[in-house]
Structure 1
Amino acid sequence: MARRTGSADLPLHGGRVPPWLGTRMASLGAIITQAIVHHYGRDEFLRRLSHPFWFQSFGAVMGMDWHSSGITTSVIGALKRGLAPLQGELGIHVCGGRGRHSRKTPDELQALGDRIGFDGAKLTRASRLVAKVDSAAVQDGFDLYLHGFFVTDDGKWTVVQQGMNEDKRQARRYHWHSENLKSFVDEPHSAIDGPAQGEIVNLTDHRAETSRAAQLELLGDLGPDRILAEYEALNDGLPRQALLPHLIMPAHHEVRSKDVFVRRLHGTLAAAAERGPVDFPDLLLTPGVGARTVRSLAMVAEVVHGAPYRFADPARFSLAHGGKDRHPYPVPLKVYDETIRVMKSAVQNAKLGRDEEMHALKRLDDQARRLERTARGPSFDAFVATERAASPVLDGRSVFGSEKDVVDRKTSGT
C-alpha cells in the first residue's frame, strides 16, 4: 500500500504571487528538479513531491509564504511553467492546477498519452478517482479546489491536491503516489496535510473494506433510508482512525525562533563559511553578494539532498530567500538571482559531464550536517535582524515594493 507520511495544519492566505517572484520561482523550481533528477532520478522527484514536509520546504526555499496554503498553488504553478520547456528532456509533465485548470487535467493527460505513448485513458481515470476519493470518500469538511497531476513518460505519477474550509480559514493538502498503489479506495494516500477536524468519515481506511462491501449490499437491497438507520445504529461502535504524525503550521505569519531548528541553521552558516571559499572562489569575487549567496545555496542543497527527517521545520528554508510578505524578511533579489545563476551553471555543466559544481553543492550539504552538532552562531532574532538591515543593499523586495523605497519613505516621513 502507499504509505502515509504525516499531516500539517495550513492556514488559508489570499493574494497573488507577484510576477517578479513567480518568474524566479519557475526558474529555481526547474533547476532544483533537474538537480534531483541528475543525482537520484525522476522517480525520486515524484517521491519528494508526495512528501508533505519536503513539499512545504520546497516552497519556502523559493520565497513563498513559509506556512500557508498558498505554497501549494504557487509551487504547482511554478513547476508547470518551469518544467514545460524541459519535459522532453526530463520526461516529467505537470497537468492541472487551480480551479478551471484542474478541470482540464483529463484533456491534458489524454493529449500527453497520444503524444508520448502511455495510456492516457488509464491516467485520466486515475486523476478522476483521486479527486473523487478526496471529495467524497474522505468526508473531512474540505472542498477540493486544486488538483496537480505530475506524470513521467513511463506512466508513474504523483498527485497533489488541496481542499479548503472557508469557515475555519484552513486548508488540507492531499498527496498521492502511484508507487506501490494497489487500490484507490484502500488507504491510497501517501500523506494528508491539514488540521484535525474531529471525527472524519474515511471510507478509504483498510478497516472500512467490510463497510464498503456492506454499503453496496445495503444500497441494492434496502435503499437509502435503511442505510441511514443502519449507520445511526452502528455509529457508536465505529473504530477510531489512528492519529498520524503531523506538522503543525501555525497561524502566525511571522517566522519565530520556535519555528526553526536553530542548531541546523548554525550548521548551515558554518558550512557556508568553511566551504564557500574552497568550493566557490569565483562566486565570492562578487562584492557584497557572494558569501551571502553561499548560505542560500546550502539550504537549496539540503532541499536537493536532504533526508525526509530534515524537513520537519519548513520555516528554516524561508531563511534562504525570505518571503514575499517580508516574513522572515523581504526577498533579496540579488541573492536569489545569484542562486539561480550558480545552480543553472552547475546543472548545465553536469549535462556536459562536468560535475564539479554539483559535487561542491553536495559537499556543502554534507558539511552542514556534520557541523550542526558543534557549530555556534547568532540567535535566530539576531540573524533575522541582520538580514533585514542588509535588505536594501541586496535589492530586497516584497509585495509592498522595494525595501529601499520602503526605508526611504520611513526616513522622509512620507
Structure 2
Amino acid sequence: MLRSGSADLPLHYGYVPQWLYERMSKLGLAIFEVLLSDYGKDEVIRRMSDPFWFQSLGAVMGMDWHSSGVTTSVMGALKRAVNPHSKSLGIYIAGGKGKFSKETPNELLKIADLTGLNGTELVKASKLSAKVDNTAIHDGYQLYTHNFILSDEGSWSVVQQGMNPKDKTARRYHWHSENLKSFVDEPHTGICGKNQGIILDLTAKSAEENRNGILEISHKAPEKIMKEVSLILPSHHDVQASDVNLKRLGAMLAMTREMQPETFEDLLMLKGVGPRTMQSLALVSEVIHGAPSRFQDPARFSFAHGGKDGHPFPVPTKIYDETLEILRSGIEKSKLGNSDKLQAIQKLHEINLKLEENFTPNFDIQEVIEDERKNSWRFGGKTVFGDSKPPEKERLNNGGIQLSLF
C-alpha cells in the first residue's frame, strides 16, 4: 500500500464561521464537478492524496493557508457538499473528526452496498492506514481525524491528521490506493509536518529488519511500497515573500489587473468580470487545471479569497460569491452542451502560463497585501473578528484608493 504524502502544520484553535463554511462547501463542490468533467474520478482521488494540492485547495477556499484547521474544515465542507450528490458524481466521502471518524467502517459498508464494491476490503484499508499512522510511526502524533475518499470504481485516498500537543503542531497523512501493495513498507504518498528529529518509524525502508523480526513472530510478510512526499509549513501566520513563487503570483496579478478580456478572444465569455474577480478565477482555474508541480507554494492560492483570520487579507465575500456564480453558471451551461464559460476559465490558466515565461517580478508582495486590506471593505471583507471597515480617509471623502503595482 502507498501513503502518498504528509504535511506538518501549526496547531490552530478556533472555528470556521458559517458564512465561510457555506461558501467553502459550494466552491468545493464546483471544483469537484469541473475536475470530474474534465479529468475523471481517478484524478479527483489522486488530487486528494497530494498534500500540496490539498493545502492549495484549502487556501483558495478561504481557510488559513497553513494552519491545522485546513484539514478538518476542508474535509467537512467537502463531505457536506459532495455526499448528497454522490450517486451522480461517483465520489463518496466517509469519516471525519473525533467521533465521526469511528463511523468510517459503517459508512464504508453502506457505500459498498450502494456501489457493489468490496466493503470488507475498504474497511480493512481504512483501519490499516489509521493503525500505521497512529501506531507503526512513533512520531508523537495521535490521530484525531480520519477521512476516506473513494470512487464508485474502487480507487480511494485517505486524509487523516494527528496532533502533538507538546510542540503545538499537527501532522496530516495522505494515502492513495494506486499501485498500493503494502501498508508497512513506506506506504505514504506524503506526510506534512515539522521535522521532529529522530523518530521510530517502522514503515521506513531502513526498518525492514525490525519489521521482519516482528513479523516473524506474527507469521506475516511485508511487501515493498513507494516513497512519500512531505510538506512542512512555517509557524508564522502572515504570508511572506518567501512563502510564494513571486514570478507566478506576479504574472497572475499583472494579467488580471492590466489585461482586458478583449485582448484574448478566448476570454470574451468573461467580459464584464472585474479585475479582482478575475484574480480569484485565475487561481481557482489553476487549482483545477494546474500541473502537480504548481502547488509547491500553497500560500499563493490564498490570494484568491484571503483567510478567515485576515491573513493575507480578509475574505472578500462579494468576490467569493461572484466567483461561485460564474463557476456554477458555467457548470450548468456545460451540462446543456455549452461549455464556453468553463473553457474561458481554463484559458485563464493557460494564458497565465505563457505570461510567466518572460515575466520578471518587480513588486513588493506586502504592497499587494496592503492594497487588498485597504480595499477589503469594498469587497465585503470578513474575518472571524468581524467585517472590514473603510480606512479613515475613505470615510471622510468617500474617495478611492488605487495602487499601481505594475
TM value normalised by structure 2: 0.89
Q: Secondary structure at the match of 2:191?
A: strand
Q: Which amino acid aligns with 1:114?
A: D
Listed as ranges, the matches of 1:20-169 within 5 Å are: 20-169=19-168
Q: Secondary structure at the match of 1:382?
A: helix
**Alpha-carbon shift at residue 217 of structure 1 (Å):** 3.9
Q: Which amino acid aligns with 1:394?
A: F
Listed as ranges, the matches of 1:230-379 within 5 Å are: 246-272=230-256, 273-274=258-259, 276-277=261-262, 278=264, 279=266, 281=268, 284-285=271-272, 290-375=274-359, 378-379=363-364
Distance 1:397 1:18, change over 3 A: same
Aligned position for 1:189: 188
Distance 1:89 1:19, change over 3 A: same
* In structure 1, C-alpha distance between the alignment counterparts of 2:228 and 2:104, rounded to whole Å: 30
**Alpha-carbon shift at residue 262 of structure 1 (Å):** 1.5
* In structure 1, C-alpha distance between the alignment counterparts of 2:177 and 2:89, rounded to whole Å: 18
* In structure 1, C-alpha distance between the alignment counterparts of 2:185 and 2:267, rounded to whole Å: 50
Q: Which amino acid aligns with 1:351?
A: K
Q: Which amino acid aligns with 1:167?
A: K
Distance 1:249 1:25, change over 3 A: same
Distance 1:218 1:128, change over 3 A: closer
Q: Deviations over 1:184-223 (max 9, x none)?
A: 1122111111112111212222443332231244589xxx
Q: Deviations over 1:364-412 (max 9, x none)?
A: 10111111233356421111111111111111011011113x868x989
Aligned position for 2:2: 2
Contact 1:270–1:368 (CA<8 Å) still a contact in 2?
Answer: no
Q: Secondary structure at the match of 2:143?
A: strand
Contact 2:189–2:228 (CA<8 Å) still a contact in 1?
Answer: no
**Alpha-carbon shift at residue 120 of structure 1 (Å):** 1.2
Q: Which amino acid aligns with 2:94?
A: C
**Alpha-carbon shift at residue 3 of structure 1 (Å):** 6.7
Contact 2:374–2:391 (CA<8 Å) still a contact in 1?
Answer: no
Q: Which amino acid aligns with 1:26?
A: S
* In structure 1, C-alpha distance between the alignment counterparts of 2:229 and 2:85, rounded to whole Å: 36
Aligned position for 1:14: 13
**Alpha-carbon shift at residue 348 of structure 1 (Å):** 1.7
Q: Secondary structure at the match of 1:180?
A: coil
* In structure 1, C-alpha distance between the alignment counterparts of 2:8 and 2:113, rounded to whole Å: 39
Q: Deviations over 1:219-265 (max 9, x none)?
A: 89xxxxxxxxxxxxxxxxxxxxxx97644311111111221211111
Q: Deviations over 1:298-353 (max 9, x none)?
A: 00000001111111111110010011011111000110001101111122222222
Q: Identity percentage over the alignment?
A: 50
Q: Which amino acid aligns with 1:191?
A: G
Contact 2:189–2:229 (CA<8 Å) still a contact in 1?
Answer: no
* In structure 2, C-alpha distance between the alignment counterparts of 1:19 and 1:268, rounded to whole Å: 30
Q: Deviations over 1:103-161 (max 9, x none)?
A: 11001001111122111121011111111111111111101000010011122110000
RMSD: 2.3
Contact 2:2–2:183 (CA<8 Å) still a contact in 1?
Answer: no
* In structure 2, C-alpha distance between the alignment counterparts of 1:47 and 1:128, rounded to whole Å: 20
Contact 2:245–2:297 (CA<8 Å) still a contact in 1?
Answer: yes
Distance 1:265 1:256, change over 3 A: same
Distance 1:275 1:118, change over 3 A: farther
The worse-fitting range, judged by mean Cα deviation, of 17-26 and 34-43 is 34-43
**Equivalent residue for 1:390, pick from 371, 375, 400:** 375
Distance 1:173 1:107, change over 3 A: same
**Alpha-carbon shift at residue 4 of structure 1 (Å):** 4.6
Q: Deviations over 1:29-55 (max 9, x none)?
A: 110111111111110111111111111
* In structure 1, C-alpha distance between the alignment counterparts of 2:260 and 2:103, rounded to whole Å: 46
Contact 1:8–1:194 (CA<8 Å) still a contact in 2?
Answer: yes
* In structure 1, C-alpha distance between the alignment counterparts of 2:146 and 2:190, rounded to whole Å: 15
Q: Which amino acid aligns with 1:267?
A: A
Larger Rg computed on CA atoms:
1
